Amino acid sequence: MEIINIKDTSNKLYYVGGVVRDELLGIESFDIDMTYEGNAIEFVQQKLQGIEDFEIVQVNEPFGTVRVKVSGREIDIASTREEVYEKKGHLPSVTRIGCSLKEDSMRRDFTVNALYKSAVSGEIIDLTGGLDDLKNKTIRVLHDESFIDDPTRILRGLKFSIRFGFDLDEHTKKLQENYLKNINYDMCYKRVKKELIETFNLNSQAAFEKFIKQNIYKLVTEKDVILPKEDIEELIKEYPVENVWLVYAGCIGDLSRLPLTKIEQKILDDFNAIGELKNDFEIYKAFEKVSTETILLYLILKNKFAAKRYLETLSKIKIEITGEDLLKLGLKPSRKFSEIFDYVLVKKLENPELSKEDEINIVRGII
């Protein structure tokens, strides 16, 4: 962590959050967050500007944060601050910049994420019992309003519990249960989506089971959801997909509150559009142009046999004749071409051993 050689004579600069937690757990951290006990922007502008290999990348005045680049590495330096959630479930407003570390720690999500490490002495500052919780593998909120202020913390708690093998402490569990019985759906779903992606991209069946059994999914939909029988983690290991999170989240059915990209929406729309599939030809036509995510959703939620039949067998079958071959046979380009291809496909699905020559003969037989 000491890659940053910032000379802070005031000893008010700290590493904070995930980077301290991960170092204590012996895990590598990707992001480095720091906090300055005071006004970070002024500190950076007055004390750090001009030092070698240092530049200011971005300043966010209202939040008192500044992104800097030191020796090629970007670091966020935040001012210690107090926040208030005027509109629960949305971004808080900053009420004070430059408060004490104790006050700064209270705006954080969990005690294990509220540990500070002095950038000068390396001393760990634990003002909320985070060290004990880290030792006892416990996730604990810092106050009783925590989930009401920001329900995405429920997803963060799930994510960290799976990533580190931690459990929620009993009181935190109770607060979570209470919140999930009385959800305020006016929340920032962009942040909910971000946490869903980070949680489900861990590809963990255990996370999904907790998500359903503990009613955490209720943050996304009011409709009831039951846990599907399939082990989604195993399925994704067998059939890798780009949008891992969407295979899990898609099982909730109703994602209308989430801001989805066009590609994500198409995966769900394709899934919804596929009805009953009665034979190999219907299975092939339904799945040949959709993403694996869609096929996995169909496997999990609709018809395991049909989806497996496609993934394991039918997807490997391809007809070899092309439009050019049909032209060579003297046919004029028309909509009939696709009927011909389908006819050959039916024959090829019945007998995958057919060669290109056989396919051409089949076409000859029908023209």
Which residues bind to ligand ATP, rule: CB under 6 A?
A: 17-18, 31, 33, 108-109, 113-114, 150, 152-153, 156
Q: Give the nearest distance from C-beta 269 to ligand ATP in angstroms.
A: 31
Q: Which residue is nearest to ligand ATP (CB)?
A: 18
Q: Give the nearest distance from C-beta 67 to ligand ATP in angstroms.
A: 13
Q: Give the nearest distance from C-beta 320 to ligand ATP in angstroms.
A: 48
Closest residue by Cα to residue 109 from 138, 80, 139: 139
Beta carbon nearer to ligand ATP, 201 or 205:
201
Name the strand (E) or helix (H) holding 359: helix 356-366
Beta carbon nearer to ligand ATP, 108 or 309:
108
Torsion over CA: 2, 139, 146, 205 (sign): positive
Q: Give the nearest distance from C-beta 152 to ligand ATP in angstroms.
A: 5
Q: Give the nearest distance from C-beta 30 to ligand ATP in angstroms.
A: 7
What is the C-alpha separation between 297 and 290, in angstroms, rounded? Answer: 11
178: its two tokens: 């209470």
Beta carbon nearer to ligand ATP, 140 or 348:
140
Q: Give the nearest distance from C-beta 177 to ligand ATP in angstroms.
A: 19
- Residue 6 · residue 13 · CB < 8 Å: yes
Q: Give the nearest distance from C-beta 97 to ligand ATP in angstroms.
A: 16
Indicate the SS3 state at residue 75. strand
Q: Give the nearest distance from C-beta 18 to ligand ATP in angstroms.
A: 2
* DSSP string computed for 100-165: -HHHHHTTSSBGGG-EEEETTT--EEESSSHHHHHHTTEE-BSSTTHHHH-THHHHHHHHHHHHHT
Beta carbon nearer to ligand ATP, 157 or 250:
157
CA angle 176, 178, 183 (to 5 degrees): 90
- Residue 284 · residue 314 · CB < 8 Å: yes
Torsion over CA: 21, 22, 26, 31 (sign): negative
Beta carbon nearer to ligand ATP, 68 or 344:
68
Beta carbon nearer to ligand ATP, 147 or 284:
147
232: its two tokens: 């989604």
Rg, C-alpha atoms of the chain: 28
Task: Give the amino acid at 187.
Answer: M
Beta carbon nearer to ligand ATP, 25 or 346:
25
What is the C-alpha separation between 199 and 217, in angstroms, rounded? Answer: 12
If one counts every other C-beta atom within 10 angstroms of the C-beta of residue 3, the result is: 10
Q: Give the nearest distance from C-beta 62 to ligand ATP in angstroms.
A: 17
Beta carbon nearer to ligand ATP, 17 or 250:
17
Indicate the SS3 state at residue 93. strand
Beta carbon nearer to ligand ATP, 248 or 287:
248
